[in-house]
Amino acid sequence: MAASRSTSVASEGTAAPPDGAPGDGDLSAAGDGPRGVTANASAGPGTWCSLRPLLLRLHFYAGILVGPFLLVAALTGLAYTAAPQLESVLYQHELKVTPRGDAIPLASQVAAARRAVPDGTLVSVSPAPGRTDSTRVGFDRPGLPAGTTLTAFVNPYDHKVLGTLRTNGQWLPVRAWLDDLHRTLHLGDLGRNYSELAASWLWVEVLGGLALWIGAPRTRQRLRTVVLPRRGAKGRRRTMSWHGAVGVWASVGLLGLSATGLTWSAHAGASIGELKDALGGNTPAVSTALAPGDGGASGASSGAARTKDVGIDAVAAAAHGAGLRGLVVISPPVKAGSSYVVKENTRSWPERQDSVAVDPATGKVTATLKFDDYPVLAKLTRWGVDAHMGLLFGLANQIVLALLAVGLIVMVLWGYRMWWLRRPTRSGGALGRAPARGAWRRLPGRVLAPAVVATAVVGYYVPLFGLPLLAFLLADLAVGAVRRRRGERVAR
């Protein structure tokens, strides 16, 4: 339940007060002092009764303040889910061809691409994976943005260049544009902070919302309302019921999106990368170095042997003989004494990410790296990222992502609707009637101490969770101090 939850979960087994009145269906009774203690917090002893008011307050303010970031992330993510279909429609001319007998040699296709991009440096070749697909030949060229290549699409049957497009890896312009919109809002490094902030707080809202919703008291007859909207409810209670039930269904997927989104974020992603390296879970790469004896030459003749190149057709044949299939990417040697690298790029289930190194002088495979041999953490990262991008399970993956995005959008909107029903004009506060301040003081030390330590550790490694939380705490303390001074002046 990752949206801006501005209200608490309704206590289901009690009589409902009128909409907008304090009671079980509200976050708390109005006010900031002792009279503002939530009804459930005073229901009896126990850790949960002490913890719930603190969760309510965090959920309330985090929901209101982080909600806009979550909404934008969900909207842009929803648009991104349609990227494969948009690519197939917009770039059909470049992507698809009519089969005409046997394909011509790959070297002839690359030569045609070189003529179309005479000032480019060859960086990759992706042979047509199917009979109706074109071959992609990527070039680096002065003036291209980092990570971008100019790709020529070649008809493998007549070496005609169908067109050239700027691409980011395998992403064509529309998908690259939508991807950058989702990650940065096209604002560069500054914009990355928006998506990281959303991912950093999404899991907090999900877990907090789940605890509040599932922990609300219910009769046995009403346990169904944990996962299904409450029948017959009206007003705020009806909105809250839908908000909570949809959140339960979406929680696992939203937690996955939060975790995978953080893996490639700017700040938390660096910490996650360091942790993976420390645990031996970094993604390996096939060795491209050639031993002095490789290439069938040794001693003085080895240098001359290194200038030989068997050609890209022989390299492709060697990779095919090593078991590489489907969509492959061939990268030429980056420097003298290094090999070609051929890597599978099938990112649907089951993943095919095997790679081999091929000696340019002999066409022999000098190193092999199987995806099966990746560390477990590297595999989990690959699967998680590809699922986040809608690649792992094809169309089904895209549909699930679209449903999660829609679910998050409506939960954000339901959250703001509940907040609007308790808006400032009714309660007099800047953000409406909030849960009582000082709930942390009622927590037992055995709960408070580890909670503080865990929050500090997470905040250090996930700074866009820690810094906003610290800012909120400082602001909350300042507001509380000002109100106490005003109260003391009135009393005098």
Region 168-188 average pLDDT: 95
Confidence band for 488, pLDDT divided at 50, 70 and 90? low
In this prediction, residues 407-415 reach a mean pLDDT of 96
- For tokens 């500054």, name the residue: 190
The Cα–Cα gap between 175 and 89 comes to: 12
| Token representation of residue 82 | 């349609």
Q: Which 3 state secondary structure label does DSSP give 249?
A: helix
Residue 189 tokens, joined: 């490094």
- Model confidence at 441: pLDDT above 80: no
Closest alpha carbon to 12 in 202, 146, 213: 213
* CA atoms of 288 and 365, how far apart (whole Å): 10
Predicted pLDDT at 253? 97
What is the domain partition of the chain in residue ranges?
34-79+185-276+399-491, 96-171, 284-373
pLDDT per residue as tens digits for the range 147-163: 899 999 999 999 899 99
What CA–CA distance (Å, rounded) separates 407 from 267? Answer: 27
- What's the token pair of residue 210? 């789940």
Interval 74-110: pLDDT, tens: 999 999 999 999 999 999 999 999 999 999 999 999 9
36/54 Cα distance (integer angstroms): 13
Share of the chain above pLDDT 70, in %: 83
The identity of residue 414, as a single letter, is: W
pLDDT of residue 394: 94
Q: In what order do the strands lie in the sheet with 365-369?
A: 161-167, 149-154, 135-140, 121-126, 328-331, 340-344, 355-358, 365-369
Is the pLDDT higher at 55 or at 138? 138
Q: Answer yes or no: is pLDDT of 291 > 90.
A: no
> Which residues, at least 6 apart from 242, have a Cβ–Cβ distance to it below 8 Å?
229, 410, 414
Distance CA 120, CA 113 (A): 10
Provide the token pair at 458. 């997470």
Name 114's Cβ contacts closer than 8 Å, sequence gap at least 6: 120, 122, 137
The closest alpha carbon to 36, from 469, 446, 435, belongs to 435
Following DSSP, what letter does each residue of 256-305 receive, concatenated? HHHHHHHHTSSSHHHHHHHHHHHTT-SPP----B--TTTTS--GGGHHHH
The structure tokens 């349609």 sit at 82
Give the type of residue at 475.
Answer: A
Closest CA to 38 of 484, 439, 451: 439
C-alpha closest to that of 225 among 240, 211, 235, 205 = 240
Could you tell me which residues come within 8 angstroms of residue 317 by beta carbon, excluding any fewer than 6 positions away?
363
∠ at Cα 383 (91, 288), nearest 5°? 80
Q: CB–CB of 59/5 below 8 Å?
A: yes
Q: Is the pLDDT of residue 206 over 80?
A: yes
User: What angle do the packed helices 173-184 and 188-214 form, to 10 degrees?
Assistant: 60
pLDDT digits (tens, 9 = 90+) for 372-397: 999 999 999 999 999 999 999 999 99
pLDDT at position 106: 97
Between 166-180, 219-233, 310-324, the lowest mean confidence (pLDDT) is in: 219-233
Q: Each residue of 214-260: pLDDT tens digit?
A: 988 777 667 888 999 988 888 888 999 999 999 999 999 999 999 99
Q: What is the pTM of this model?
A: 0.84
Segment of 63-67, 226-230, 319-323, 482-486 carrying the highest mean pLDDT: 319-323
SS3 call for 369: strand
Structure confidence at residue 433 (pLDDT): 59
Dmax (CA) of the chain? 98
Is 54 buried (19+), middle (13-18) or exposed (0-12) by CB count in 10 A?
A: buried
Per-residue pLDDT, 429: 55
Evaluate if residue 478 carries a pLDDT over 80. yes
Mean pLDDT of the 269-280 span: 91
pLDDT of residue 42: 39
What does 28-97 look like in DSSP terms, one character per residue? Answer: S-SSSSGGG--TGGGS-SSHHHHHHHHHHHHHHHHHHHHHHHHHHHHHHHHHHTTHHHHHHHHTHHHHB-
Angle CA(293)–CA(298)–CA(299) in degrees, nearest 5?
A: 130
The CATH number given to 96-171 is 3.10.450
Q: What is the pLDDT of residues 18-67, one digit of tens each?
A: 333 333 333 333 333 333 333 343 334 467 887 888 888 889 888 989 99
For residue 465, is pLDDT > 70? yes
